[in-house]
Amino acid sequence: MMSNQAQGFKHITFNTTKPLKTPIGNFEWQLVTGRLENSGFNPPQTDRTSAGTRLFTPRINQLGDTNDWRFIQAYTVTYSPKWIKGLSLGMIRWVQMYSAMIEGKYWWMGGKPHYGYFPVFSNFLRSNDMNADLEQQTDQAAGLFMRWLWADAQMEIYAEFHYNDAKQNLRDLMLDSDHARAATIGLQKVFKTAKSDAYYLFSWEWTQLEQTGGKLLRNAGSWYMHSAVYDGYTNNGEVLGAGIGPGSNSHYFSVTKVDNTSKYGLALEIIDQDNDFYYAAFDDSNDYRRYWKDFNVHVSYEKKYKNFWGSLNMMYSRSLNYQWELEDFATPYYHAGRDVNNFHVNFKLTYHLNLK
């Protein structure tokens, strides 16, 4: 829903700084209101046409501005039950819209927002829409998440289940629960070694952003994309959510050895790149050979020496059918496409001050 893979954006926040204790458990929350900008770049080949219709149409708001910013508001609420140790349950929602959604004027020019100043608390279900056209121009997502820490077993599990589109009513939510959904599930487990100051950490995570089979009857569109909010869920052109991007899926496995002064890690990441686009682009040809799939191997090393902490991260990436490129008429039929290798190295050195 919101990760650290994109740069930050201008915002104000109202949040707890420590758990709020109640007789039934602890609560935490955060409310964020901010401003998102577009990248400033148009897509390539803006003059292309199809059947006499121009494919690219510049977006112009009510004031004639083609570079309209977006208003975003989001909240998250987390509840930790008193009776189940280590369990946290939460809800998250965000909405975004162009500033020109204000009726003819910007807020600072005296305009009044359609929803007031807190649209993130507006209705969840489309059956409650007061203005259907307005709702269709609002991009939103909402969902639930959980984390359960088992301290004695030195293990945790976590999961997220979210929707990027509002349901019509409660019956729609119950019947078509796969529509517009995305999910993540993961776990981490610590394994002790013979040395008291060392241990192994195993991690696994699976994420699915690709649409389910229900799209054959009811297309939800890809995550982070929207029919009216053309810039999508981005800031300066970077997706604010999962780094794998719209329509993609991923598996991640890692094993890390940790001791008092060092850390060694090895990880494998497998990414299905934007299957939503793949199915749309090659459905007519029934070409099942063009999946764009990345296999990434990560090797990391961190070392502490006195007040210095250094880290070295290396990644080798093997992309099969990069950008879905494949020569149509080459033989044999199931042949290699455009396979690409990449190698990335990142080094960081940190110095820690001992302030007394």
Give the model confidence (pLDDT) of 76-124 as tens digits: 999 999 999 999 999 999 999 887 765 444 444 444 555 567 888 877 7
> Exposed/middle/buried for 29, CB within 10 Å: 0-12, 13-18, 19+?
middle
Q: How far apart are CA 267 and CA 256, in angstroms?
A: 8
- Residues sharing a CB contact under 8 Å with residue 205, sequence separation 6 or more, in sequence order: 184, 185, 186, 187, 250, 251, 252
10-45 pLDDT tens trace: 999 999 999 999 999 999 999 999 999 988 887 777
Q: How far apart are CA 180 and CA 311, in angstroms?
A: 39
Cα angle for residues 341, 346, 352 (degrees, 5° grid): 165
What DSSP state is assigned to residue 88?
Answer: E
Residue tagged 């529509």 (tokens): 179
Q: How far apart are CA 297 and CA 320, in angstroms?
A: 14
pLDDT of residue 120: 86
Q: Please, are residues 247 and 207 in contact by the beta-carbon 8 Å criterion?
A: no
Instruction: Quote the pTM value.
Output: 0.85
What DSSP state is assigned to residue 44?
Answer: S
pLDDT beneath 50: ranges in the chain: 63, 103-111
